[in-house]
Amino acid sequence: MTDQPPAPSTRGLQRSEALARAEMIEVSGYDVALDLASSEETFDSTTRISLTSRGGRTFLDLKPRAVRSIRLNGTAIDVDLLQRGRVPLETVEGVNEVVVEAVMAFRNDGEGLHRSVDPADGRHYVYGMSFMDAAPSIFACFDQPDLKAPYTFHVRAPEDWVVIGNAPGHNPEPGVWELETSKPLSTYFVTLVAGPYHLVRDEHDGIPLGLSCRQSIAADLDADADELLTLTRQCFDELHRLFGIRYPFGDYHQAFVPEFNAGAMENPGCVTFRDPLVFTSRVTRGQRISRATTVAHEMAHQWFGNITTPRWWDDLWLNESFAEYMGNRVTAEATQYDDAWVQTAYARRQWGLLADQRPSTHPVAGNGEEDATAALQNFDGISYAKGSSILKQLNTTMGDEVFFAGVRDHFDRHFYGNATMQDLLDSWTRAGAVDLGPFADNWLVTAGPDRLVLERPDRLLRTPAPDRPAERRHTLRIATRAAGAADWQVDEQVLDAAETAYDVAAGTAVLLDPFEDTWAVTEPDPETLALLPGLVATTTDPMLRAGMWNSVRSAYHHARVSPDAVLDLLEAWLPVEDQDAGLQHTLGWVLAKVVPLAADPDAAASRVHAATWQVARAAESGSTVQLAAFQAAVSSCASVDLLEGWLMGRDLPVGIELDLALRWRLLVRLAVLGAVDRAALDQHLDAEPTAVSRVEHTRAIASLPTAEAKAWAWARFSGAATAPNYELEAAGEGMWRAGQEQLTDPYVARYFDELPGTAQAHSGWVLADVAEAFFPLTSLHDTTVTRAHELIARADLDASLRRRVVDTTDELEHRLAVARTYGSH
């Protein structure tokens, strides 16, 4: 209990404030009425909240365009008391009721109640994203994860709209939707999806299933509906088997919505996904696996996160690490995508390892985050990829029986409630696990990865992250291949000391942890690196090849492998790789981080183009490996004639279809080379004005090597011109093109001068994403690094901006080290 109302924070909700409010009140339920039909800019929101209080002062969260009235227990509260999103309340002991009538703004930044217009047909679509601190811009609430309550929604909408929410609903009269009372939810799970959405309905094991998307991509959803629904059924069956607890939230609807910031959001009963996951052009198997693991990830959240929710944001791993692990595992074990772990190795491992080596690294669990808004930045590779890896290790050690017995105990004890890391550890202990305290201290609470390397001829070294001492026991497999051997030999090894004896004969290649049994940075020793190009063509295990590349990428990040060595390995590997995920992610990395830092970037790009073009012509016609190779061949091509011929449909490899995605890839590359103008790009957009075209049109314009194009992109950074979230990111990515430094150099200083002011133009998720997308990573100069550190040191810099600048500055410093070491700078 507090004697005075908490002062509104200039940051997000503080943990101390949340603890005090949770001690004072318990929310019984929300009744929310929304009018989405009266305006395209705003909507009426009436919220009736029932709560029980110990009595005393607390505060309500509210972020309206305007407030009509606020009443507490029938007594009007002065609406001018609303300050910085908070209304002070003087509650009485016992039952209280708060009623708020407000006008809210539709948003276009992917948060709150986001409203967008489909450029293909002009139809309007709405969806709710309440995550982190956006719920109060939809309805008045007590916005923290441990004040769960049931919700009842009443919605008025245009008569041609459908409305879907966290609980089943019905449409008693045109334009009126009544949703049933939901199960207890944290505020950040509350959503509505409303608009003229195309619907697909089904049912499995007594659970009503649904899919929805914009009308303009309805045919594409219909084409994928069988795959998506099959994945959903398989995942439900496997999750029910593993957890022994049925999905408890009624319907299970999966809504593919426009301009969504995240990959997906696990709202109970109505999961929202970014709608590029409805594939409108041909995609690789790796992209389908990524979508499948996303579907499974969000389904796992119905247990980890939705049934039992972390009490506070310092325990993100109780949500994301578990959903990541279960999503990958269930996809691999219960669906057609039994190679999901290979795709994950290429797509996620480096994301997590790099995040864990940044200055901003943090523990997997108990990360100490006191500010709810700043906690958004910890939804990163550590909370996902690292946490998932550690859980995979823990499951291997415990075995399924103890692991899932503890999980079931955890859910049973905190059903529809909240929990902490210690609560889960206690559940595992009751199930029979031992020595979890040291495990948690070393793996979950201590940040940073160990570095594991071979020191020839006879030692393995284990080095913890600087200034983060830990005593971690690594149980991993090591792959060795002696000179003249036909294949790799794999043995298990335990590393539980700083040095471990390990004899290696000369001429033997050694890969540490290629199957990702543990969490650590591994790097090939120089002798192994030199041998790999001669061995990769006869390396048949796709997971071993993925582990090889992750090891090389880690060493390259620290300037211990040259760009030329990477390209040597790439040229030997490409003709034999049969996993398109390997091609997409490795080639994307090479084009972004290796080619620009080579001593001769043009020659390096030419090597990549020649190798990928050869694969595109030699691969099986119509295969997804061919598609991945051709995509990279386009992005590395320096021949305008060849690109223009492909765009006209000439000289394409048999099996390559010139669909929308490939046309825009060609146009973006032509724009980078200055071989297409703004008028031509506009014509292509006008010919097919889809959401995909809008984003790629933005990327292409920003990529043009003209002063006008860079000024056009910069206007979106500064807020002088407005654009939806996907287009903002595309503008930043297109602006900073290697080789265009003469045009972009004047914007380096402007970035550091003007970034703090972007908080007036952008907010939340988009604010941080814009800071990253527009960071001058192509400016490989000490002065750029100095300016970045000066900006980081500013006390008035928004916390989310600081986090992104810290991370991108660290990336710039590593790129500069590579350039200096290997002669390109």
Q: Which residues belong to the active site? A: 298
Helix or strand run (H / E) with residue 605: helix 601-618
Whether 221 contacts 154, CB under 8 Å? no
Q: In the structure, how many helices (H) and strands (E) does the chain have? A: 28, 28
Question: What contacts 298, CB < 8 A, 6 or more positions away?
Answer: 254, 264, 265, 266, 271, 273, 323, 327
- Phi, psi of 237, rounded to the nearest 5 degrees: -60, -45
List Cα–Cα distances, 29 to 87, 130, 796, in angstroms: 19, 17, 38
Q: CA torsion 440→442→443→444, rounded to 10°?
A: 50
**What single letter denotes the amino acid at residue 259?**
E
Q: Is 259 exposed, middle or buried (0-12, 13-18, 19+ CB in 10 A)?
A: buried
Whether 209 contacts 276, CB under 8 Å? no
Q: CA torsion sign, 675 to 678 to 683 to 689?
A: positive
Whether 770 contacts 717, CB under 8 Å? yes
In 3D space, the residue among 196, 151, 187 whose CA is nearest the CA of residue 169 turns out to be: 151
Sheet with 176-179, strands from edge to edge, namely 75-77, 66-72, 94-105, 42-53, 25-35, 151-156, 176-179, 169-173
Helix (H/G/I), strand (E/B), else coil: 528: helix
Question: What contacts 687, CB < 8 A, 6 or more positions away?
Answer: none
List Cα–Cα distances, 83 to 9, 14, 62, 687, in angstroms: 10, 16, 9, 48
Helix or strand run (H / E) with residue 236: helix 218-243
In 3D space, the residue among 771, 778, 702 whose CA is nearest the CA of residue 734 turns out to be: 702
Question: What contacts 530, CB < 8 A, 6 or more positions away?
Answer: none
- Tokens representing 697 are 């049109």
Geometric angle at alpha carbon 78, from 75 and 83, rounded to 5°: 130
DSSP 14: B
Whether 411 contacts 307, CB under 8 Å? yes
**Alpha carbon 407 to chain centroid distance?**
25
Give bridge partners of residue 25 from the DSSP assignment: 53
DSSP 537: G
- Phi, psi of 126, rounded to the nearest 5 degrees: -130, 145
Helix or strand run (H / E) with residue 418: strand 417-419
Question: What contacts 601, CB < 8 A, 6 or more positions away?
Answer: 595, 738, 739, 824
List Cα–Cα distances, 560 to 525, 552, 567, in angstroms: 9, 9, 14
Sheet with 499-501, strands from edge to edge, namely 499-501, 459-463, 450-455, 520-522
DSSP string, 95-121: EEEEEEEEEEE-BSSSSEEEEEE-TTT
Give bridge partners of residue 459 from the DSSP assignment: 455, 501
Helix or strand run (H / E) with residue 71: strand 66-72
Strand blocks (E) in 108-245: 112-117, 124-129, 151-156, 162-165, 169-173, 176-179, 192-195, 198-204, 207-213
Strand blocks (E) in 9-62: 25-35, 42-53, 56-61
